[in-house]
Amino acid sequence: MPRPHRLRAPFRALVATACTAVLGAGLLAGAGTATADQNAAPKAAEAQAGSRVVGYFTEWGVYGRNYHVKNVETSGSANKLTHINYAFGNVQGGKCTMGDAYAATDKAYSADQSVDGVADTWDQPLRGNFNQLRKLKKKHPNLKVLWSFGGWTWSGGFTEAAKNPQAFAQSCYDLVENSKWADVFDGIDIDWEYPNACGLSCDTSGRAAYKNLMSAVRAKFGSNNLVTAAIPADASSGGKIDAADYAGAAQYVDWYNPMTYDFFGAWDAKGPTAPHSPLSSYTGIPKAEYHSQATIAKLKGMGIPSDKLLLGIGFYGRGWTGVTQKAPGGTATGPAQGTYEQGIDDYKVLKTKCPANGTVGGTAYAHCGTNWWSYDTPATIAGKMNYKNQQGLGGTFFWELSGDTTNGELIKAIN
């Protein structure tokens, strides 16, 4: 069965000048101001602001990666998570739809693969990831699960959804609250890449479309369900944050997940090399506002409350090959080869394959042979957590669980 190629939440950084030009300067007008209607926000989240730890679980990870819900338990991650974002549901015909139904609801698990050691039977009403998540929640009663829709590959359907937000919201509610798995999910996460801007495809719905869609989702899901959203991290003037009314929509979400990773990567095949998730600026950074502190400062400056912003961490690295310079800023000949695709690899692989030997902008980089990689380590995550606490942010989220070690090194650093 074909699966989404690269849903690694954002590209997050930035497809390009050409896409922006398609939209025109008028569509990238300035940001709105967060409204005062905080009563629209739900009260369902048990985790206190600042302590939320949200990890993405990828639906397709059960195949080549051989990463299952049981691994969340055996790694010790389940004890440290407050929320799981299940990625991804699709958006088709302006509605929420299933992603891979086999992985989600049908795949049978043997006793040794199952969270609770009990094998699935042929006639049970629900199998797959959803049933395993149900078992994980039984072991961890405070753990919440949200179904995330969209992602890099499946965001094209949001353009049609924006034409009838109420119908979109109804379709999402009907799917998430399906009687077979309603107890599995505690809400919905919207990962639209990107409203009124370009990702894999370009959207021209207008600045108001995002606020209108999130308003409809909140109205349908009510105050007893969580509603969250992944949003862009591009803090440059006229960039992706400016393209939609994220401030106006903030009243409808429990929190935002600004995707503060993938600022730089081997889509710029010849470099210059730069860390994909810098916390702060540094001398020689290729684009001045492509770092987490600029993202958070811009969103807070728009009036979005600090406790509605989570800091994004990547459990993976991005890299180039043909690099002779150890420090950032070197030239390259193309993307370094990763385990599953070029230019990207998991932390659990890179920590041994190309150990970090430098830091810049609050994150780590590694030069080994002619390969140059950047990724976060337990030490740099600790620094990011200090920043998160100083800023009074609502917590941390990360992409994604299978990138960590079998004993959960990175999630331990978050905690």
Tens of pLDDT along 152-204? Answer: 999 999 999 999 999 999 999 999 999 999 999 999 999 999 999 999 999 99
Q: Which helix (H) or strand (E) holds 187?
A: strand 187-191
d(CA 35, CA 191): 22
pTM here? 0.90
Measured CA distances, 122 to 115, 118, 395 (Å): 18, 13, 40
What pLDDT score does 50 carry?
Answer: 75
d(CA 65, CA 404): 12
Q: H helices then E strands: how many in the chain?
A: 12, 15
Closest CA to 87 of 193, 179, 13, 180: 193
335 in a structural domain: no
91 in a structural domain: yes
How confident is the model over 74-122, as pLDDT tens digits?
999 999 999 999 999 999 999 999 999 999 999 999 999 999 999 999 9
What pLDDT score does 31 carry?
Answer: 37
Buried b (16+ CB within 10 A) or exposed e, 283-298: eebebebbbbbbbbeb
What pLDDT score does 48 carry?
Answer: 62
Q: What is the CATH number of the domain that holds 81?
A: 3.20.20.80
Closest CA to 254 of 210, 212, 220, 305: 305
206 in a structural domain: yes
Question: Judging by beta carbons within 10 Å of its beta carbon (0-12, 13-18, 19+), is residue 237 exposed, middle or buried?
Answer: exposed
305 in a structural domain: no
Q: Are strands 334-335 and 344-346 parallel, antiparallel or unpaired?
A: unpaired
Low-confidence ranges of the chain (pLDDT < 70): 1-49
User: Would you give the distance in Å from CA 232 to the centre of its chain?
Assistant: 10
134 in a structural domain: yes
Closest CA to 239 of 288, 276, 300, 304: 288
Domains: count for the chain? 1
Q: How far apart are the first and last CA of the chain?
A: 37
Report cis status (omega within 30 of 0) of the bond before 272.
yes
333 in a structural domain: no
323 in a structural domain: no
What pLDDT score does 134 carry?
Answer: 98
Closest CA to 16 of 346, 295, 247, 239: 239
DSSP reduced 3-state for 14: coil
d(CA 109, CA 128): 7
The residue range of the domain holding 204 is 41-259
Closest CA to 291 of 359, 235, 344: 235
User: Would you give the distance in Å from CA 150 to the centre of its chain?
Assistant: 11
268 in a structural domain: no
- Which among 193, 289, 400, 409 is annotated as catalytic? 193
d(CA 127, CA 325): 50
Q: At what angle do helices 292-301 and 378-390 cross, to 10 degrees?
A: 20
Closest CA to 29 of 158, 206, 202: 206
d(CA 217, CA 253): 9
Catalytic annotation present for 193:
yes
d(CA 306, CA 283): 28
User: Would you give the distance in Å from CA 200 to the centre of its chain?
Assistant: 16
Report cis status (omega within 30 of 0) of the bond before 194.
yes
